[in-house]
Structure 1
């Protein structure tokens, strides 16, 4: 028990001493590829802005399109999102265990009009209580899928068919 308390205390001290350790998102691709996206990595990627109304408050979020992020771990994009890739989902997990699932096609701008971003800024400032990263889903009627405190993003292929072997529908 004493060792567990020491280990937990040491981890908490490390996270306080090195905030970047706490400010990252773990990525996992459809074929097991893994990566870690730090706050600096996300800040360096091209951002888009979107204004949404959530819980009666209008906010402008800035972030990276989710479809761009998941390509870093092998997710299909653009015209490759067809056939069995239409049965590929993205599971987003927050620090508190909250999870949401989106279809990969929802993140493709050629398939769906509304954007889905991993935001790191709101109203011109870094995210505070909802951060350091927040999923924001444009055009949802209620913000249930706009998960806050995102810490893990996984791409899961549900189809048993290999993408290259599938016929286009």
Structure 2
């Protein structure tokens, strides 16, 4: 009830004069939200903004410039719309996805967790940009033919509003001229059978683009050790853990999974607990290297409730951690998939 009144307060306070119907040049927020919104560029500029630097180089090496972007945290807009999950059997939002689309029909998928369990300045809806110009020319080390196209990128026309994922190592998820933000729950299309007992001696990797296989031992992967704070939304601080295991990114790479910004990974346990990670946060963000499948905690093998735990060290809350991993499912989220998921 408190969250409901907070949403109403935010709308009355910050959204006076904003349109709630579709308009030609508006940004629409819909899906699993209480208050679907349609926000114009002019209205976006009225929000309190923050500034981030983005060094725009894509994963394939394309240089798109270096800019200071100013805009509104995506989290602010989603809190204004008030995300509302319909499932009573699993009410946590940790398995939700957020689809971002632009006028050209391009789409990328974010996880709920990377928006709400990280500092809000990492993902912006930008409304303005200023290029960061180099102080010296490049004549001494490169020819004009080489560096002029790079300088030209600093003067290029940027189409707003623009999704800026400032925390990524590469700029593939920074999408210009976005028109739609949809909060979705894809789990209705997952064929999962809930088991009452929390135990799994192995986990299975299955789904889009992968030949299904099971792992009962991760000794063949390089050992990764981490020190984590365990802080949950429900029970708060529960100490510091020494964890040891294998990188989820490396396990997925070895399984032959190719990065696709429209895919997500659902990690689930026999009791139905699950969390969702986006392909981008695993493969493009430095945080992806800090996501592990652990088989040892505080120097001891995990014997109670299964052998493996998903740990996400850069999350501010531990609620996306999954004990007793039973399955990792790779799912491609296309527009067709979205239609199935929302019915």
Shorter-chain TM-score above 0.5: yes
Tell me the SS of whatever aligns to 2:219. Answer: helix
Give the one of 22, 31, 51 matched to 2:227: 51
Q: Note the C-alpha offset of 1:32.
A: 4.9
Counterpart in 2 of 1:71?
253
SS in 1 for 2:240: strand
The residue number in structure 2 matching 1:104 is 279
**Counterpart pick for 2:302 among 99, 123, 127:** 127
- Rg larger in structure: 2
Q: Which runs of 4+ in 1 moved over 6 A?
A: none
Deviation at 1:86, TM superposition (A): 1.2
> Is the counterpart of residue 62 in structure 1 residue 244 in structure 2?
yes
Structure with larger RCO (C-alpha < 8 A, sep 6+): 1
Displacement, 1:23? 1.7
Q: 1:144 aligns with which of 319, 332, 338?
A: 319
Helix, strand or coil: the match of 1:56? strand
User: C-alpha deviations, 1:24-44, integer Å up to 9, x for none?
Assistant: 1111142352011112xx122
Alpha carbons 1:66, 1:118 under 8 Å: kept: yes
Structure with bigger helix share is: 1
Contact 2:210/2:257 (8 A) holds in 1: no
Alpha-carbon deviation of 1:56?
Answer: 2.6
Summarize the Cα distance change of 1:24–1:63 in structure 2 as closer, same or farther, 3 Å threshold.
same
**1:68–1:32 distance in 2 versus 1, CA, 3 Å:** closer
2:193 is aligned to: none
Structure 2 stretches lacking a partner, 5+ long: 1-199, 231-236, 336-343
Q: 1:36 aligns with which of 171, 189, 214?
A: 214
Over 3 Å counting, the alpha-carbon distance change for 1:87 and 1:141 in structure 2 is same
Separation in 2, partners of 1:61, 1:28 = 25
Count, aligned residues: 129
Aligned-residue RMSD, C-alpha: 1.8
Q: Which residue of 2 aligns with 1:14?
A: none
The Cα of 1:70 is off from its aligned counterpart by 1.7
Task: State how far apart, in whole Å, the 2-side matches of 1:139 and 1:153 are.
Answer: 20
Mark the runs of 5 or more structure 1 residues left unpaired by the alignment: 1-21, 161-169
Q: Is 1:25 aligned to 2:203, yes or no?
A: yes
Once the two structures are superposed, residues 108-138 of structure 1 have per-residue CA deviations (whole angstroms, 9 ceiling, x without a partner) of: 2x52336110100011110132530000001
